[in-house]
Amino acid sequence: MTELPSSWDVLVVGAGSAGAAAARNLARAGRSVLAVDARPLDGAGAQWVNALPAWMFERADIALPLEPELRASGPHYVMLDAHGERRGALPRSPLLFVDMRRLIDRLQREACEAGATLVGGASVRAVRLVEGRPSSARLSIVDASGAERSQEVAARLFVDASGMAGVLRTRVPSLAREAPSPKGADVCAAAQEVRRIVDVEGARAFLTRVGARSRDAIGYLGLQGGFSTLLLQLDLEAKEVEILTGATALPEYPSGQKMLRDFVARERWIGERVFGGSGAIPIRRPYERLAVPGLALIGDAACQVFPAHGSGIGAGLIAARMLADAVSGFDDPGAGAPLARYEAAFHRETGALLAAYDVFRRLAQSLPPNDVRALLASGLLDEVSTAAALDQRLPIPDRARAAKLALAAARSPRVAARLGPALAKMLAVWATWRLHPGAGERASAAWRALARRVAAD
């Protein structure tokens, strides 16, 4: 087992999509980068199909996926309520359905080509702090034969891309205090699988029943009330179906895995599993504090996830780009100034969007199934707002749509009474995040206090 160099510019913990993108970007900028993951590299990050908008690849400076990494592009989207009743459709959704295994492999290869070193089977056992700033990490490294060794490596910048566990975040007290691990209602239990279609006629009958076609995206909203969903895409030619499920990680909700198993058991045209995975996803707004000297958070470790439907891949890729841009030109990439620049850039742009939609997420979680159905039936959650949420953007109403929504509100005053205040709060949160001061610890601390008050329930 080869000994690693003992000193690096950057140590990235986590080699999934966000971590591999950060290693790639920082190495391309001329930094010496070591990225490690506790799992083998081919098992790092999400191992399923994820849907995300094309613009997020472009913003992250990552080439758009091509087949076979890209499984579908811009499919027709059919929206159903918990009873399977059609509640709207988009002729062409903004989504790309991406095989995350292949995307992560591409990002890891590009990181290595840029000069980064990636090591799988490497876990962080301890972090050494000097005056509160991380200076080195003790790694336990297991090779393919099962042999284990320990090595300490130093770095000027540590990047926590380890997912919700926050392997580094939880070991640095100055950040752990302000970024507690999410739990309960702030977590989604999700599962996704690609399975064989063993009865094409049965699958075709299912599509007819829900008013969809082969390769359409089919979304059930509020299956168990509030934050619970089932997203399908059937490809009759390939004889495969993609199934994504998720629900709030509370005892009263079934897990994503159980929802998926129950759906497969009901639909006899679905056969064996091809690939997939499951896991817990943070769905709260991003932490107000994303960095302290020596340490930056990206991806799920920073709760950089779109709260309305739990997709965090795109935001993590964008954060990796922003971090590399923020530290460019600084001799010490872990100094306070470049990391404050990263935090401000993210919050003013992407963080403002995510924090605003967190307000809607909390409203959705409070709604029982019948109220979700009433919301969908009211017309207040229309195709424009659905398309904006799928595209991870704020909907911008024009005059005609504003009049249409006002009429829908008049027809459904009880629903409007719940939705109206939430929309006003979304705008207040968005505006507050856009005002991140960007520099000065006193000003930043004041902003964080204000942001928590504005976003609070």
pLDDT digits (tens, 9 = 90+) for 34-61: 999 999 999 999 999 999 999 999 999 9
Closest C-alpha to 165, from 50, 255, 280, 277: 280
Alpha carbons 16 and 106: distance in angstroms, whole number: 11
Lowest average pLDDT, out of 255-264, 301-310, 312-321, 390-399, goes to 390-399
Laid out side by side, the sheet with 49-53 consists of 49-53, 95-99, 70-73
Give 235-253 pLDDT, tens digit per residue: 999 999 999 999 999 998 8
Q: Which residues of 320-358 are buried (b: 16+ CB within 10 A; e: fewer)?
A: bbbbbbbbeeeeebbbeebbbbbbbbbbeebbbbbbbbb
Give 102-157 pLDDT, tens digit per residue: 999 999 999 999 999 999 999 999 999 999 999 999 999 998 888 999 999 999 99
Closest C-alpha to 317, from 339, 302, 331, 329: 302
More confident residue, 60 or 225: 60
Percent residues over pLDDT 90 in the chain: 80
Alpha carbons 229 and 190: distance in angstroms, whole number: 9
pLDDT of residue 280: 94
Contact criterion met (CB below 8 Å) for 292 and 225: no
Alpha carbons 96 and 410: distance in angstroms, whole number: 36
Which tokens belong to 123? 């876990």
Tell me the average pLDDT across 98-105. 98
Closest C-alpha to 433, from 335, 250, 286, 325: 286
Residue 344: pLDDT band with limits 50, 70, 90: very high
Q: What is the largest CA-CA distance in the chain?
A: 70
Residue 457 has pLDDT above 80, yes or no: no
Alpha carbons 410 and 373: distance in angstroms, whole number: 17
Tell me the average pLDDT across 171-200. 96
pLDDT of residue 1: 56
Which tokens belong to 21? 């993108």
Is 0.75 topped by the overall pTM?
A: yes
Q: How many CB atoms sit inside 10 A of residue 250's CB?
A: 14
Amino acid making up residue 62: I
pLDDT of residue 86: 79
pLDDT of residue 224: 77
